[in-house]
Amino acid sequence: MNGKILIVDDEAGALKLLKEILTAAGHEVRPFNNGELALRSIRAEAPELILLDIRMPGMDGFEVCRRIKEDERLKDIPVIFITAATDMEDKIKAFQAGGIDYITKPFQKEEVVTRVKTHVALNRSMLQLKQIAEDLSKSEESLKMAQGIAHLGHWEWDVNTGQFAWSEETYRILGFEPERQMACYDAFMQSVHPDDKERVATYLSKVLVGSGFDIEYRIILPDGNTRAVHGIGKLISLGASRQPKIMGTIQEVPDPRKIKMLGVIQDITKRKELELRLEQQANTDFLTGCASRRRFLELAKQEFVRNKRYGGDMSVLMLDIDRFKAINDTYGHQAGDTTLIKFVQECQGILREVDFIGRMGGEEFAIILPATGGRQALEIAERLRKAVADTEVPMQESSPLRFTTSIGIASLIEGDLNAELIINRADKALYEAKNTGRNKVCAAA
């Protein structure tokens, strides 16, 4: 998936390398060596993704990102920060400044290509969803205008929850003010003329078993005047797993001797399917099928809040496949992808149903272990490490590929204000595991 990428880095060598990597991957690249020039270019023609170095003379990456996020036209452009591998403070500040990810120096080609590809795809999905929402809003506004001209109001009745929804024109026809009267079944039935109440209730109850209705009846307005209306309604379902709704319209009739209710129905199946597909894409890593970084952080936050409310233990594992670049260089990218998939499968085979794993980027993964203290987390991590070390990836023209993983552990402690603090401690423990020999487990102090 080709994307329009803008790179900002004051180091000529790093800028040249990033441009070569991304151009070779099919992207359109605009390189800049300082923040001021980059901002001018971004404002003239917005890119799909920005790779932004943190440490630059003059205007640093944080300031560039701040100005981008302040601009209403540019604030949704995803920013990936470029930082040193060991600079944990910069990584934390990068997310606080509005970055969605980071790439560490020295660059690994596969990491750069994978992260850029993932965020370009995710950004396009988000833009598509936003466009759908805008189109829907325009469609609904047009419908509202048309209903006002035709004196035709629509309503919905959620059979499962009992909730009613009335359009503005429905409120006008019934003589209610939205600020003073909530849409509900009782208010609607109270407006029906006493002589027509039983008949209207009977028709509505028939709809619950699948019958439509097309009736004429009278309503009494709050000021005492009588109005004749025509109504049509139908029971609909938005899919096999969705709860049914009764949808209909109500239309004012000039002749008081005629009593009708008119119904409309809009087929939104395709839009709902697309929204579900886009949501799944945003929440799932496209290669391994585990949670995406964004979804993992959401789940981690939810688990942290649950723990703070009800008490108990919680641990985080950060995992990295050792020497993954060498696997790609020796066996090719397809073998690297197969290794990532196999890694996640091995982890899921050991983890409990309540645990969840997410891909944080490249060959780095994270696992949340609910209701798990440090000692139990260490046991789980060791089982994962041994299982991965025993795993084989079949190769067509050579012996099976073997690989290992390094794991960092951190557990919830008193004073933790958010899940990110636990994740950061586990990340530091992971670096310790990698820097002291790999294929080992280290726990945060």
Of residues 397 and 301, more confidence is placed in: 301
Per-residue pLDDT, 244? 63
Per-residue pLDDT, 30? 92
Of residues 58 and 207, more confidence is placed in: 58
Distance CA 79, CA 100 (A): 6
- What are the residue ranges of CATH 3.30.450.20 in the chain? 151-269
Q: What is the mean pLDDT of residues 327-344?
A: 92
Lowest-confidence region among 5-19, 37-51, 260-274, 394-408: 260-274
Nearest to 380 by CA among 366, 369, 365: 369
Per-residue pLDDT, 99? 86
Per-residue pLDDT, 354? 92
Is the pLDDT score of 256 beyond 50? no
Distance CA 405, CA 343 (A): 9
- What are the residue ranges of CATH 3.30.70.270 in the chain? 284-443
Per-residue pLDDT, 153? 78
Per-residue pLDDT, 138? 58
Fold of 284-443: Alpha-Beta Plaits (3.30.70)
Task: Write out the H or E segment, with its range, that includes residue 249.
Answer: strand 245-253
Confidence of residue 425 (pLDDT cuts 50, 70, 90): very high
Percent of the chain with pLDDT over 70: 84
Per-residue pLDDT, 200? 84
Is the pLDDT score of 15 beyond 50? yes
Fold of 4-128: Rossmann fold (3.40.50)
- 265's CB contacts (< 8 A; 6+ apart) are 234, 236, 247
Confidence of residue 270 (pLDDT cuts 50, 70, 90): low
Rounded to a whole number of angstroms, the distance between the first and last alpha carbons of the chain is: 42
Per-residue pLDDT, 241? 44
Task: Kindly report whether the global pTM for this prediction surpasses the value 0.85.
Answer: no
- What are the residue ranges of CATH 3.40.50.2300 in the chain? 4-128
Q: What is the mean pLDDT of residues 317-330?
A: 94
Specify which of 109-118, 275-284, 296-305 reaches the highest per-range mean pLDDT: 296-305
Q: What is the mean pLDDT of residues 230-235?
A: 78
Q: Hey, is 7 helix, strand or coil?
A: strand
Confidence of residue 114 (pLDDT cuts 50, 70, 90): confident
For domain 151-269, the question of CATH label 3.20.10.10 is answered with no
Phi–psi pair at 431, nearest 5 degrees: -60, -40
Is the pLDDT score of 127 beyond 80? no
Is the pLDDT score of 414 beyond 50? yes
Radius of gyration of the chain (CA): 29
Of residues 85 and 90, more confidence is placed in: 90
Confidence of residue 107 (pLDDT cuts 50, 70, 90): confident
Per-residue pLDDT, 263? 53
Q: What is the mean pLDDT of residues 271-285?
A: 75
Angstrom CA distances, 148 to 141, 207, 261, 285, 425, stand at 11, 26, 16, 46, 59
Per-residue pLDDT, 240? 45
Of residues 155 and 399, more confidence is placed in: 399
Of residues 46 and 123, more confidence is placed in: 46
Is the pLDDT score of 262 beyond 50? no
